[in-house]
Structure 1
Amino acid sequence: MPADVPVDEPQGRLTAAGHEPGPDAWLRWFWLWELYFAIGFVALVVVLAVSGGTTTDRVGAIAAVTVMAGWYVAFGRRVILREQPSWWPSRIYMLGNLVLLVVGVIFQPMTSFALFAVCPLAFITLRLSEAIFVVIPANLVPVLSALAEDGVRTVLHGFLPGTLLTITFAVLLGTWIHRIIAQSEERAELIRELEKSREEVSRLSREAGVAAERARLAAEIHDTLAQGFTSLVTLVQAAESELDGDRAKARRHLELAARTARENLGEARALVAGLMPSALGTGSLDDAIRRQLERLAEETPIKATYQVEGESVALPTVIEVVLLRAVQESLTNVRKHSGASEVSIRLCVDGAAATLRVADDGSGFDTARPVDGFGLVGMRTRAEQVGGSLLVHSGVSGTTVELEVPR
């Protein structure tokens, strides 16, 4: 009977099989930022080269911008791409950018166009509050430069409105950039956690499958091989006691022991192959139950009766296995423990369920006390695996086992 827990069920993966999780979404498109940075650097150098002012001013501004680009390639890029962000290197990097921006604006005010790279870098490398704190004074550098050269009136009419608009745009755009990066990192962390969770679920599923298979094998071994060996020992002992007396009776015990051994061998082969019980492989459930009663009559003086009611007993194999094992275990308990003189089996099959009732007139036992062994526990477990139920009533007048399973 197959275990009811799936083992190693195929699963989709959040990442490609055999590959590590890919980089964050924004890192996959990081090359676009670098292309933007490179184009912006070249354009700014060209603008500064053709701008007015002295040669010293142009060279000084171009030098400041070039150092800023080198500062990004040598240090800033590693700060951005670092897996675990470290805020002090980020702060040092942005402080260097601000110093170079101020130097470049001092030589040539048009160096302020570098803000199109400095502002996004602030939001990429720093916390949001820190980035805003950096972006606002960075955008005020050109204003302060113009204030020093042209006076307050020129700044109020020419620079301040555009600067305020630039600051507002930079803060909004930077906040959006920062949110995209944060969401990308959160999703990456969520994917890693999901991968770990799925690995844990897969491991637990395998362990549950192994435990279920062990329980199934334990029940099969108890209900087939162990009971068969018990019968063999009983029959051999009976034959041994008759060797010096009734040899014909001893021979009959030995023949029955040989037949039991062959059946046990068949059960062992079926167990190894994972097939249905050998008793069901050669006939119907009805035939298998009758053979169990015939063996009981041959081995013991217990009188046995069998009655079938309702529809045909052709049932799904998994249900037939549960019913047959219940009959085997019940008869074994009658034989070994009850001291009964009579046992009756009634099987009732209708459209909704199959009900098995095994009753004997033995000494009974206390159902409230813990039961040693695997028999009753195994029967109850089998019944629950197919959605059924098992009831045991026992007293001085005998024991009744009732098993009901849905069709």
Structure 2
Amino acid sequence: MSVSAEFAWLAFPLWLLAGYILPWRWAVVFSAVVVGMVTAAPILQYGAVNFAGIVGPILGGVFALSIARGYSELANDLRERQRLVISLMHAQKEMVALQEELAQTQRMSGAHEERTRISRDIHDTIAQGLSSISLLATVALENGAKERMPRTLSQIDALARDNLGDVRRIVSALAPAELEDRALASALGRMLNRLEAESGLKTQVRIDERLPVLPTAVEVALLRTAQSALANVRQHAGATRVVLNLADAGDSVRLDIVDDGCGFDVPAWDTTFEPLSGTGAGGYGLHSMRARLRELGGGLDVESSPGDGAALSAHVPLALHPRDGS
């Protein structure tokens, strides 16, 4: 510019450079200085300047500075996007790690639930069957009546076969053998008939004809509850009569089992049972029933007192959530 005013075109790249490198405030100041130099150069060299010599540099400076700032903003946006992409990649890696941890937790939880289910199934089927076999053998040995031995051995053989079937189905994680035809009422009837034949107890079964078709999870829970309850009656109650009632209670199904045995202290059963060891006044069976029914949104009510028999009432809602196995 000191050599010739014709070098005013050099101002344009300077404006671009200033807009890209300098902070916005200093870029404006520098651009104003350059505009002043470009405008003053013709006056100093030629002694005059026209209108275009003033307006042109001003418009050129504004235009170049705007382009430079726009490019700078785009570059900043690009860097911000790159930073966000890197952040998202880190977040994705963390999410994958969390998903793996969650999957591991779910697997552990599923394994725990499966162990609990198998424990209940073993208690409600195999353990009860072995206990019945033991009782039959004990009675036969104590009586010593040889003429009753074939009948007793036949009953033991039938129980052993049933237990073997339950073992196979537990291992295979299939539905109980009694429910292969999804007929809970028939299974309960056979159970009561067998109990009467083996123990001499008088039994009665009442089935509500209005009862709808139940989900498999509900049928299994009610069947296991009945098995465990009747085993308790046989082993501990000293009863002469037991009544089983299966009824439609509107939005739920209810299974009631009443006996005229010796009864027990319900509050003591609730307070002395230790879930971790499975010991206490009430044993594992009643608490196992209650836990199984609660998983389906149901429950177990127990009414009893020493010398007045016992009444168990299991209820399960008919409208199950998906997680409940409906």
Q: CA deviation at 1:302?
A: 3.1
Gaps of 5+ in 2: 4-8, 45-52, 279-283, 319-326
Task: Please tell me the residue identity of whatever aligns with 1:185.
Answer: R
Residue-by-residue CA offset, 1:301-359 (whole Å, 9 max, x unaligned): 43322222341564332222111111001111212333333221111136533211011
Q: Does 1:269 align with 2:179?
A: no
Q: CA deviation at 1:158?
A: 6.6
Alignment match, 1:189: 87
Alignment match, 2:221: 322
- Residues 139, 167 of structure 1: 8 Å contact kept: no
Alignment match, 1:208: 109
- Compared CA separation, residues 172 and 400, structure 1 to 2 (3 A): farther
Alignment match, 2:118: 217
Alignment match, 1:366: 266
Task: Please tell me the residue identity of whatever aligns with 2:290.
Answer: R
Residue-by-residue CA offset, 1:111-149 (whole Å, 9 max, x unaligned): 947957993xx7xxxxxxxxx64995699499679959x
- Compared CA separation, residues 207 and 185, structure 1 to 2 (3 A): farther
Q: Does 1:284 align with 2:186?
A: no
Q: TM-score under structure 1 normalisation?
A: 0.59
Cα distance between partner residues in 1 of 2:242 and 2:301: 17
Alignment of 1:35-54 (within 5 A): none
Task: Please tell me the residue identity of whatever aligns with 1:309.
Answer: D
SS in 1 for 2:263: coil
SS in 2 for 1:363: coil
Match of 1:230 among 110, 113, 131: 131
- Compared CA separation, residues 370 and 118, structure 1 to 2 (3 A): farther
- Residues 348, 356 of structure 1: 8 Å contact kept: yes
Residue-by-residue CA offset, 1:384-406 (whole Å, 9 max, x unaligned): 33332222222222221111223
Task: Please tell me the residue identity of whatever aligns with 1:202.
Answer: A
Q: CA deviation at 1:259?
A: 1.0
- Residues 305, 344 of structure 1: 8 Å contact kept: yes
Cα distance between partner residues in 2 of 1:267 and 1:294: 19
Task: Please tell me the residue identity of whatever aligns with 2:304.
Answer: S
Identity over the aligned pairs, expressed in percent? Answer: 29
Cα distance between partner residues in 2 of 1:403 and 1:152: 105
Task: Please tell me the residue identity of whatever aligns with 1:291.
Answer: R
Gaps of 5+ in 1: 1-52, 54-107, 123-131
Q: CA deviation at 1:157?
A: 7.1
Task: Please tell me the residue identity of whatever aligns with 2:310.
Answer: T
Alignment match, 1:27: none
Q: CA deviation at 1:268?
A: 1.2
Alignment match, 1:86: none
Match of 1:258 among 124, 143, 157: 157
- Compared CA separation, residues 293 and 153, structure 1 to 2 (3 A): farther
- Residues 265, 305 of structure 2: 8 Å contact kept: yes
Alignment match, 1:392: 302
Residue-by-residue CA offset, 1:48-91 (whole Å, 9 max, x unaligned): xxxxx9xxxxxxxxxxxxxxxxxxxxxxxxxxxxxxxxxxxxxx
Cα distance between partner residues in 2 of 1:200 and 1:113: 57
- Compared CA separation, residues 157 and 117, structure 1 to 2 (3 A): closer
SS in 1 for 2:242: strand
Q: CA deviation at 1:265?
A: 0.6
- Residues 12, 61 of structure 2: 8 Å contact kept: no
Cα distance between partner residues in 2 of 1:153 and 1:359: 118
- Residues 353, 406 of structure 1: 8 Å contact kept: yes
Match of 1:383 among 293, 296, 321: 293
Q: CA deviation at 1:169?
A: 4.5
SS in 1 for 2:194: helix
RMSD over aligned Cα atoms = 3.9
Task: Please tell me the residue identity of whatever aligns with 2:316.
Answer: V
Cα distance between partner residues in 1 of 2:191 and 2:67: 89
Q: CA deviation at 1:260?
A: 0.5
Cα distance between partner residues in 2 of 1:174 and 1:114: 13
SS in 2 for 1:217: helix
- Compared CA separation, residues 111 and 171, structure 1 to 2 (3 A): closer
Cα distance between partner residues in 2 of 1:288 and 1:256: 18
- Compared CA separation, residues 381 and 321, structure 1 to 2 (3 A): same
- Compared CA separation, residues 166 and 321, structure 1 to 2 (3 A): same
Alignment match, 1:72: none
Cα distance between partner residues in 2 of 1:327 and 1:220: 12
SS in 2 for 1:209: helix
- Residues 383, 389 of structure 1: 8 Å contact kept: yes
Q: CA deviation at 1:200?
A: 3.4
Task: Please tell me the residue identity of whatever aligns with 1:299.
Answer: E
SS in 1 for 2:266: coil
Task: Please tell me the residue identity of whatever aligns with 1:365.
Answer: D
Task: Please tell me the residue identity of whatever aligns with 1:215.
Answer: T
Cα distance between partner residues in 2 of 1:226 and 1:172: 81
- Compared CA separation, residues 174 and 230, structure 1 to 2 (3 A): farther
SS in 2 for 1:369: helix
